[in-house]
A = this chain, B = another copy of it.
Amino acid sequence: MPSGQSNSNSNSISATNNRQHNPPAEAVPSFPPPESESDESWVWSQIKAEARRDADSEPALASFLYATVLSHPSLPRSLSFHLANKLCSSTLLSTLLYDLFVASFSEHPTLRSAAVADLLAVMKRDPACVSFSHCLLNYKGFLAIQAHRVSHVLWSQNRKPLALALQSRIADVFAVDIHPAARIGKGILLDHATGVVIGETAVVGNNVSILHHVTLGGTGKDVGDRHPKIADGVLIGAGATILGNIKIGEGAKIGAGSLVLIDVPARTTAVGNPARLIGRNNRGEPVKNEGDVFPGETMDHTSFIQQWCDYII
């Protein structure tokens, strides 16, 4: 994505522009409106076709597929049903959650377009994802993000206790802990997802890929804006810990297991504990990724190994 475009996405973060840090005036995330209704329709048609095929070939799964997908008239209904049955507990009944999700998806079309963008992103980036329905039904990261977006809407509407209760259920069920106030873009892949923690004032741009055990944490000493801002197209490897109100620039790559405490420029790679930048030329300037390839979209985790000079076993 050209950086010129990112300015039009108020949820994305460029390293030189932090207007997005101001809380949005409106109650809902400022995703661009769905490019066209046809995207959702097309994805939903795919999902139903896949579910029908799988129900035919696997009777043991047919009941699940009919209950969760094939009996529903639309993607938001199916998603609401699935989330409600995943997140319900003996004291937060599925019907209550179902109502909440159906109403949220109905009132906030951006929640729907973001879900569609995430489905497309997962299919495009994760070679282990065999179908849209696989993602919808089985990806805890996908489901956690969709539920988070609803909790974010609630938070923005000042329905904080309900937003926090929803966060708690997501954390219990999916082991993904995203503060309702955190702003998450669209086209997100949260791969494997277990252990992801994203703090209150964190912002995640569009087309970002985040592996499991990633922390976007606070520094602990501040009360205000204290969490990372992740720009568009960033890839964050498994177990990376990014702490403080720092900026990870567009298209940057954070190596698995890295600890990042200082800004990372756009299109550069940071690795290690503490993280160092690699891929600089001999003037100390970062060697930018070629073209507009964003690692958050290509999922290139390890091409930097040769450049990591001291990495020799």
Q: A residues engaging B (CB < 8 A)?
A: 54-55, 57-68, 70-71, 81, 84-86, 88-96, 98-100, 125, 127-128, 130, 134, 137-140, 159-162, 164-165, 167-168, 171-175, 177, 179, 192, 194-195, 197, 199-200, 211-213, 215, 217-223, 226, 235, 237-239, 241, 243-244, 255-264, 270-277, 298-303, 305, 308, 310-313
Contacts and interface: CB of A to CB of B under 8 A. Distances in A.
A127 B195 contact: no
B61 A64 contact: no
Q: How many copies does the complex hold?
A: 6
Given A58-B162, A270-B313, 12 more contacts: A62-B66, A63-B93, A64-B92, A85-B93, A98-B98, A98-B99, A138-B164, A219-B301, A221-B301, A244-B301, A255-B259, A276-B313
A194 B192 contact: no
Given A138-B164, A212-B177, A311 B61 contact: no
Contacts of A134: 161, 164
Contacts of A197: 192, 194, 212, 238
Contacts of A71: 59-60, 62-63, 96
A98 B235 CA distance: 40
21 contacts: A60-B100, A64-B165, A66-B66, A67-B93, A85-B91, A85-B93, A128-B199, A134-B161, A138-B164, A171-B194, A172-B174, A177-B192, A217-B238, A219-B300, A221-B299, A237-B243, A257-B273, A261-B305, A270-B313, A272-B273, A275-B313
Contacts of A262: 305, 311-313
A90 B303 CA distance: 43
Closest 4 CB pairs of A and B: A220-B299, A63-B67, A138-B168, A62-B66
A164 B194 contact: no
Given A90-B85, A90-B93, A301 B243 contact: yes
Contact of A200 (B62, B128, B222, B276): B128
A172 to B, nearest CB: 6
Contact of A63 (B63, B99, B194, B220): B63
A94 to B, nearest CB: 5
